Amino acid sequence: MVDTAIIRAILDSYLDRVGADLIPRNGADSADAEALHQASIVVLCHDGAEDPVLIYANAAAAALWKMPVEKLIGLPSRFTAAAQHQPDRAEALDSARSAGVLYGYSGERVASDGTRFMIRQAVLWTVDGLPQGVGQAAMFTSWEQLDQIG
């Protein structure tokens, strides 16, 4: 069961940073948690640790990374990208941290089975009010599968 405080922080911070709701909200934390989990948009959030770990992933993220949500949670978030793409990912996260939000991020990612995909037009934002302190989240609706090299 996901901590509804995490969902509230993700949704409230998105509204604060972007000026719009990430999903339609009905005001009940449990209903908002279920709506975000089932949303067609991909949403991930990591904590603010030195080597951040994922503290939230919705069903769309789990399907894309080909891992159950329970396995994504606790995964160092750098592992969502292949090693050669981690520096670019880290740079984008640093930019989002400095500005509070970063629009239009694109980058290559790798699923648990090694398949590669390119995320397009992601929004990265700082998430305040997490039980773990300040973290970061990403949302995107567009991606494409890349040819498997190998």
Choices 3.10.20.30, 3.30.450.20, 1.10.3720.10, 3.40.50.2030: CATH for 4-145: 3.30.450.20
| pLDDT the model gives residue 150 | 45
Distance CA 126, CA 9 (A): 10
Domain boundaries, the chain: 4-145
Predicted TM-score (pTM) of the model is: 0.92
When pLDDT is cut at 50, 70 and 90, the band that residue 136 belongs to is very high
When pLDDT is cut at 50, 70 and 90, the band that residue 147 belongs to is confident
In tens, the pLDDT along 46-100 reads 999 999 999 999 999 999 999 999 999 999 999 998 888 888 988 998 899 899 9
